[in-house]
């Protein structure tokens, strides 16, 4: 039941980069890769090849364009192997610098070899903690690479803390002496003898939005997945206390948390919102959580009433609405992007931060940001939407989009005939301009995109058989609750009788069924979670000089990666 038999890494061109065999006689990478590539994309993370000898399970992950494969001939726990592959990627990234590039691996095979042989021993996963590995494997440093003459493509050590978590100054001198002191640190996830000249602590909270909006405009689900990334560059063994706060109370907001092993669970249970821990050195993920922005009462409000206004309101930066089957033949569609006025980015807007509640949309059930939510955040007083992209996936039978244009608002459209989707990009500057058109209106800005679909088999199918129309008065159209969910356009389309009706029916199949919005907002979190305090417990900490107060920084980021989805 050896978990890991071998590890293969391939670069973006699927050229082999590394093969490390741990135990047994697994099929070589050159055998496994074609089989993997033969599987139609999107490829699942576990593929079974019954025809190889022996029959092989192949685990795969893709990170930073690199493909990590691990074959296995016996039944192993899939998540164990996949987690391991993720850890390998993380450890390599930690040691070689992020992002993980093929050239970085190639230029320091010796370090990679040491890491890989430390991480797995005889097929059993031994140690994947980056800090513990640092105790036994020396990271390739800039200086050493100069001496060694193996050229690293000059990735100059950047001074910003986030780019390279282990800057040159912070690295302890390599232990070349044959008798090092106690190599195993008392805390398994923190390496021994940490020493930093400048003591710094950074908290980054990132939330990823997953919102689904029904055709009626009612949000079906709105979940925000949060991750607290922590960067600790503090000497000795510090004992930290991070306090999180939230307008509605942290215990009511955050659900299903997971923690880094360093976090003391009892403390969290006794006092939710307080994370007490001894951090590993460097950057790590302290916790993950999720927030249901709709609250538990969401289902009750999803009633049979047809009015779309009755639903719970969400406070998200941007949504898209999509209208289909427009025009005389029902071949047109329209995507309407609306931006929340709150994110205009004008901190000097006529209404100061107290404006929040005065906006009509800011109320509602979503326990998102209260008025005080982001005003109190020191980072950005007025959050700005950046890098907005609207994706409109298209059915496979769409041949082309005629007359695709942005009828109102800025942006660029990326579409080529035959594509499976339209991309509508609006850069930050354009968003700013768009927002400024709507100053003080309080309704937010909108932009519109229109297009006409052309199907593949438009011509052949139009002269169909002896078929009558769909709008015969059957006694089956009485499904009221259904129609409340469906787009009103569909019903209106049905009314539109005439010669075009059949064409319309045909075009309906070609209509896009949803639009997704991607964006990122700095300085704002959908859940309203914020850091209320970060303290070093001087009594419990060791090795930190008296009176040293580390520099502390907090960042908030809310992103949506095709996460706000509007159906139609």
Partner 1 sequence: MHPSTYAHWSLSTARDLTLDAARDAGSARKTSARILPSGQLKKLLDSRAERDVLEGLRRVVTMSYRQPPSQTLPFFTAVIKNIASPSLPVKKLVYIYLLQHAEHEPDTALLSINTIQKSLTDQNPQLRALALRVMSGIRVPVISQIVSLGIKRGVGDMSPYVRRAAALAIPKCYSLDPNTEPQLLEYLSTLLGDKQYFVTGAAVAAFLEFCPDRLDLIHPHYRSLIRKLVDMDEWGQLATLQLMMVYARKCFPRRTRKVKKAVPASTENKKSARTTKGFYDSDSESEKSEDQEMEEIVTLDPDLELLLKACQPLLQSRNSAVIIAVARTYLYLGTPTYLSTAIGPLIALLRSAQDLQHIALYNIVQVCLSHPEPFVKYYTHFLVRSTDAPHIWRLKLELLTLIFPYAPLRLQSLILAELSHFSHSGSLDPGLVKEAVRAIGRCSQSSATSPKTSARCLRLLLAHIGSADAHLVAESLEVIRHLIQRDPDNHRTTVVRLAKHLDAATSPQARASIIWLVGEFAGVDPENNIAADVLRILAKGFAGEAEPAKLQIMLLAAKVYVHHLNANPPPEPAKPIEPQAPSALLEGFQDEGGFRDPHLESESTPQIPEKQPQEQPHPIAALYQYILLLTRYDTSYDLRDRARVYKALLASPSSTQLASLLLLAPKPVPQTPSPSETRKGYVLGSASLVVGDEGGVGGLRGYESLPPWVKEGQEPDPGLRDEDAASSEYQAGGSGGRILTASEKLDVAASNSRAPELGSSIGGSPVKSLNGIGPAGAGGNRKEKTLDDWLAEEEDEEDEEGSSEEETDDEEYESEEESTEEESDESDGAGEGGRLMK
Q: Enumerate residues 281-300 that contact partner 1 by CB under 8 A.
A: 284-285, 287-288, 290, 292, 294, 296, 298-300
- Residue 4 CB, nearest approach to partner 1 (Å): 10
> What is the rounded distance in angstroms from the CA atom of residue 329 to the CA atom of residue 501?
7
CA atoms within 13 A on the CB side of 457: 9
Shortest Cβ distance from residue 419 to partner 1 (Å)?
14
Which member of 37, 143, 163, 310 binds partner 1 (CB under 8 A)?
Answer: 163
Taking the least distance from each CB to partner 1, the nearer of 476 and 495 is: 476
What six digits make up the tokens of 240? 């930290």
Name the DSSP class of 357: G
Shortest spacing between CB 541 and partner 1, in angstroms:
21
CB 390 within 8 A of CB 333: no
Window of 270-278, 357-365, 435-443, 512-520 that interacts with partner 1 by CB under 8 A: 512-520
* List of residues 6+ apart from 154 with CB closer than 8 A: none
**Sole binder of partner 1 in the list 53, 173, 304, 309 (CB under 8 A):** 304
Question: x/- site string to partner 1, residues 314 to 353, per CB under 8 A?
Answer: ----------------------------------------
Give yes or no for a contact between 68 and 7, defined as CB atoms under 8 angstroms apart: yes
Contacts of 181 (CB under 8 A, 6+ apart): 192, 193
DSSP state of 56: E
Q: Is 360 in the site for partner 1 (CB under 8 A)?
A: no
| Cβ-proximal residues to 243 (8 Å cutoff; 6+ apart), any chain | 273, 274, 275, 531, 532, 533, 534, 535
Q: Which of 34, 55, 360, 533 binds partner 1 (CB under 8 A)?
A: 55
CA atoms within 13 A on the CB side of 487: 22
| 414 touches partner 1 (CB under 8 A) | no
Question: What is the closest distance, in whole angstroms, from the C-beta atom of residue 228 to partner 1 in the complex?
Answer: 9
Token pair, residue 540, equals: 């419990």
- Given the complex with partner 1, which of 322 and 534 has the nearer CB atom? 322
Q: Interaction with partner 1 in 86-145: which residues (CB under 8 A)?
A: 86-87, 89-90, 93, 98-99, 101-103, 106-107, 109-110, 112-114, 117, 121-129, 136, 138
Residues 6+ apart with CB under 8 A from 199: 233, 234, 235, 544, 548, 549, 550, 551
Pick from 443, 426, 359: which is nearest to 388 by CA? Answer: 426
Touching partner 1, residues 475-494 (CB under 8 A):
475-479, 481-482, 485-486
CB 504 within 8 A of CB 329: yes
Q: Compose the 227-266 pattern: x for residues touching partner 1 by CB under 8 A, - for all others.
A: x-x-------------------------xxxxxxx---x-
Q: How far is the CB of 2 from partner 1 (least distance, A)?
A: 7
Shorter beta-carbon distance to partner 1: residue 192 or 434:
192
The smaller minimum CB distance to partner 1, of residues 338 and 471, is found at 471
Report how many residues bind partner 1 under the rule CB under 8 A.
151
The CB-of-216 to partner 1 minimum distance in angstroms stands at 10
Q: Is 310 in the site for partner 1 (CB under 8 A)?
A: no
- Residues in region 361-390 near partner 1 by CB under 8 A: none
Distances (CA, A) of 270 to 120, 256, 264, 278, 285: 37, 16, 10, 18, 22
Q: Is 473 in the site for partner 1 (CB under 8 A)?
A: no
Strand, coil or helix: what is 558?
A: strand
Q: Pick from 468, 495, 499, 539: which binds partner 1 (CB under 8 A)?
A: 468
Binds partner 1 by CB under 8 A, chosen from 34, 172, 180, 543:
180
Strand order in the sheet with 446-455: 318-326, 332-339, 446-455, 398-408
Q: How far is the CB of 446 from partner 1 (least distance, A)?
A: 22
């Amino acid at each position: 039941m050896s978990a890991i038999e071998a590890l293969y890494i391939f670069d973006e061109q699927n050229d082999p980069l590394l093969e490390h065999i741990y135990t047994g006689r697994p099929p070589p990478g050159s055998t496994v890769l074609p089989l993997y590539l033969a599987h139609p994309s999107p490829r699942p993370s576990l593929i079974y090849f019954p025809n190889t000898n022996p029959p092989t399970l192949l685990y795969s992950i893709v990170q930073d364009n690199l493909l990590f494969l691990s074959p296995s001939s016996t039944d192993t726990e899939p998540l164990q192997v996949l987690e391991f592959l993720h850890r390998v990627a993380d450890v390599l990234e930690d040691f070689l610098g992020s992002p993980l590039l093929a050239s970085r691996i190639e230029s320091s095979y010796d370090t990679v070899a040491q890491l890989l042989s430390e991480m797995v021993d005889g097929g059993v996963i031994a140690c994947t903690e980056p800090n513990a590995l640092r105790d036994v494997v020396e990271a390739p440093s800039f200086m050493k690479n100069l001496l060694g003459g193996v050229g690293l493509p000059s990735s100059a050590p950047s001074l910003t803390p986030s780019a390279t978590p282990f800057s040159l100054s912070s690295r302890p001198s390599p232990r070349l002496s044959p008798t090092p002191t106690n190599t195993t640190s008392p805390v398994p996830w923190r390496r021994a003898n940490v020493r930093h000249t400048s003591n710094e602590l950074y908290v980054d909270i990132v939330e990823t939005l997953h919102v689904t909006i029904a055709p009626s405009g009612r949000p079906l689900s709105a979940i925000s997945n949060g991750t607290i990334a922590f960067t600790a560059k503090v000497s000795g063994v510090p004992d930290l206390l991070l306090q999180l706060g939230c307008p509605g109370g942290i215990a009511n907001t955050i659900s299903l948390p997971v923690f880094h092993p360093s976090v003391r669970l009892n403390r969290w249970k006794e006092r939710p919102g307080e994370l007490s821990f001894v951090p590993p050195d460097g950057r790590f993920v302290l916790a993950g959580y999720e927030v249901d922005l709709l609250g538990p009462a969401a289902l009750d409000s999803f009633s049979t009433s047809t009015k779309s206004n009755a639903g719970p309101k969400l406070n998200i930066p941007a949504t898209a609405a999509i209208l289909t089957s427009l025009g005389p033949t029902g071949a047109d569609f329209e995507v309407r992007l609306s931006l929340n006025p709150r994110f205009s980015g004008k901190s000097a807007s006529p209404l100061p931060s107290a404006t929040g509640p005065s906006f009509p949309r800011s109320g509602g059930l979503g326990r998102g940001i209260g008025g005080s939510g982001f005003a109190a955040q020191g980072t950005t007083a007025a959050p700005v939407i950046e890098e907005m992209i609207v994706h409109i996936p298209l059915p496979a039978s769409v041949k082309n989009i005629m007359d695709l244009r942005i009828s109102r608002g800025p942006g660029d459209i990326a579409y080529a005939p035959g594509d499976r989707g339209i991309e509508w990009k609006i850069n930050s500057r354009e968003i700013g301009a768009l927002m400024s058109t709507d100053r003080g209106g309080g309704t937010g800005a909108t932009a519109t995109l229109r297009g006409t679909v052309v199907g593949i088999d438009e011509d052949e199918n139009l002269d169909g058989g002896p078929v009558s129309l769909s709008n015969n008065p059957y006694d089956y159209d009485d499904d009221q609750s259904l129609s409340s969910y469906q787009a009103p356009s569909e019903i209106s389309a049905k009314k539109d009788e005439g010669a075009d009706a059949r064409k319309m029916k045909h075009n309906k199949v070609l209509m896009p069924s949803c639009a997704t919005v991607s964006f990122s907002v700095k300085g704002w979190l959908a859940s309203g979670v914020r850091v209320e305090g970060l303290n070093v417990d001087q009594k419990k900490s060791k090795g930190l000089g008296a009176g040293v107060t580390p520099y502390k920084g907090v960042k908030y980021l809310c992103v949506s990666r095709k996460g706000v989805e509007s159906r139609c």
